[in-house]
Structure 1
């Protein structure tokens, strides 16, 4: 039977997904301008709702990836919805602020339950039994536990691509005023797509303990920041840098921190034969 805290967490995840949609509908209703940037950001925020549904499935199936996925979803959802609430001019509407406050409380509660509740932690660290073909036939063995920091680095680096593509598509809608930046925007979009493949391959070999893959992912993270942030400032202004640069800075920081922690895992206590 599923433990009660896990059932409570699942209910909170459903409420968070629903609250995300409600806040986005409120933002759309009260927004004074429905331009290209607003449409792209709204579509991206709605797409994040699917991520909460995936997280619900991960929790129910006791996957260790639920922890980093919940952390990254909570972080990026608040950024994605928060930048929709603040208009380009004037004050944000009160219903949107109230909805964002409720969404913030839900996201924080979800992250605390995922990382701090012992029952949820025990549920998510349980390793499923996988089929293994042996000489005696098909048997089931417990899967080896994965490094949580490696999982965090993987998922955080996977978010680079959408976090780059959203402002790149917004910038593409403003090219009529910046034709000289057409090639830069095209390269921005292509780089956003290419980063997903590089991050995928690097993260795969990081999970295998490859030092070279860890260094590659570190340099890719730094290069993404060096390329993405100036373009946000030049083409989208200071407002775009805050709205679209900040989420990538947080995701990159989380990736670098996770890579550092995975490179220096905590020492495990061992029992000597003499003390046994």
Structure 2
């Protein structure tokens, strides 16, 4: 008699390979961040905040493992955004304000970048993964059989993959604004106390951006074309607020370290919206 474990459907080899790769990437993220911290010439508040934010990405890779194992459609855009922003988050910590980066940090960054590239390549180039990542998240269902929590297709038409990518990319706006705002709190002291209202405004704008993105993307996935234009406007406003504040409160170094990841996320959002519009042209 066969046991339940023996009759369980074996996942494709590509899924097992990606799961192992994601676990390795999560561990590599932690190791590289610790190396950066040890070899950093300045271990101040700003580095601690940015390092903490980068370390949180290791949890993101673990969450992505769950999506991959369950075959969620969200895994592809989530993995793409996570890989791209991880590379930027680590890159901005390796380069010191002066001098050249330490060799251990450079080697760790090279390894982590290679792992992230491999993750994206598997997610988007593997036909086995494409056939596996087709399931939707379970939700509460009330029908004639009663109340249950099970996987069901969404009532709305299935969203274009590029729309999902734009949605995930746009959801990074808020944390990418809040991290430099938190860094700026360490700069507001002494003769710079007058900048405190600007920092508070920065925090408020970061929180407001999350709600604006949530509203736009909710209608975007329902096929409302005005939502795409709204998301473009939100993106431009986010850039108009964040980049000048980075330059004013954190200097050119902060503009590069904290502004570049946001610009990358915005560019990916624009690109995804454009690809989605081409895939679903207006009637």
TM-score by length of 2: 0.88
**1:147 counterpart = 2:156:** no
Which of 4, 20, 24 does residue 29 from structure 2 map onto? 20
Maintained 8 Å contact 2:185/2:199: yes
Comparing 258-267 with 214-223, which one deviates more in the overlay?
Answer: 258-267
User: What is the rounded CA distance, in whole Å, between the counterparts of 1:129 and 1:246 in structure 2?
Assistant: 36
User: What is the rounded CA distance, in whole Å, between the counterparts of 1:213 and 1:266 in structure 2?
Assistant: 14
**1:249 counterpart = 2:259:** no
Q: Displacement, 1:179?
A: 2.6
Deviations 1:140-188 (A, max 9, x none): 8862543211211111111000000111111121112523322111100
Query: Map of 1:46-57 to 2, 5 A cutoff?
Result: 46-57=55-66
Maintained 8 Å contact 1:130/1:143: no
In structure 2, stretches of 5+ residues that fail to align are 1-9
**1:260 counterpart = 2:274:** yes
Deviations 1:45-95 (A, max 9, x none): 111111111111110010111111111111111111111111112221111
Q: Displacement, 1:133?
A: 4.6
User: What is the rounded CA distance, in whole Å, between the counterparts of 1:136 and 1:93 in structure 2?
Assistant: 63
User: What is the rounded CA distance, in whole Å, between the counterparts of 1:239 and 1:185 in structure 2?
Assistant: 17
Deviations 1:194-234 (A, max 9, x none): 11111112111111112222222110001111111111112
User: What is the rounded CA distance, in whole Å, between the counterparts of 1:22 and 1:167 in structure 2?
Assistant: 23
User: What is the rounded CA distance, in whole Å, between the counterparts of 1:29 and 1:18 in structure 2?
Assistant: 17
Comparing 169-178 with 57-66, which one deviates more in the overlay?
Answer: 169-178
- Aligned length in residues: 267
Deviations 1:84-107 (A, max 9, x none): 111112221111111110000000
Q: Displacement, 1:130?
A: 7.2
- Aligned residue for 1:146, secondary structure, equals coil
In structure 1, stretches of 5+ residues that fail to align are 268-276
User: What is the rounded CA distance, in whole Å, between the counterparts of 1:191 and 1:128 in structure 2?
Assistant: 30
Query: Map of 1:2-21 to 2, 5 A cutoff?
Result: 2-21=11-30
- Aligned residue for 1:154, secondary structure, equals helix
TM-score by length of 1: 0.90
CA RMSD of aligned residues (A): 2.1
User: What is the rounded CA distance, in whole Å, between the counterparts of 1:219 and 1:80 in structure 2?
Assistant: 25
User: What is the rounded CA distance, in whole Å, between the counterparts of 1:128 and 1:46 in structure 2?
Assistant: 26
Which of 82, 91, 99 does residue 73 from structure 1 map onto? 82
Maintained 8 Å contact 2:167/2:217: yes
**1:210 counterpart = 2:224:** yes
- Aligned residue for 1:162, secondary structure, equals helix
User: What is the rounded CA distance, in whole Å, between the counterparts of 2:145 and 2:89 in structure 1?
Assistant: 52
* Runs of 4+ residues over 4 Å off in structure 1: 126-142
